[in-house]
């Protein structure tokens, strides 16, 4: 089965989430898993803003190491 993949370089997943990795692998995304080390301790603001900020910080922390690759930072919060 071939998969559609729009990038010529692997996606960098700035997360250790097994679920995110599984979802991406399930659609055939070639990736490098590189956790960011960002500590998720800032809870000031609306939940959506908080997780958006965490995701951006994760992606930004990893992006400088992989300037030629697309980088995905993501987060989830249940409230």
Catalytic residues, by residue number, are 75
Distance CA 11, CA 71 (A): 6
Give the number of other Cβ atoms within 10 Å of residue 43's Cβ: 9
Q: Please tell me what DSSP assigns to residue 13.
A: E
């Amino acid at each position: 089965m071939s998969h559609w993949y729009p990038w010529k370089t692997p996606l960098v997943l700035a997360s250790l989430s097994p679920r995110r990795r599984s979802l991406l692998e399930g659609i055939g995304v070639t990736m490098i898993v590189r956790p960011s080390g960002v500590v998720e301790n800032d809870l000031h603001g609306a939940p959506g803003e908080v997780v958006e900020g965490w995701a951006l910080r994760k992606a930004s922390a990893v992006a400088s190491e992989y300037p030629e690759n697309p980088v995905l930072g993501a987060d989830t919060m249940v409230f």
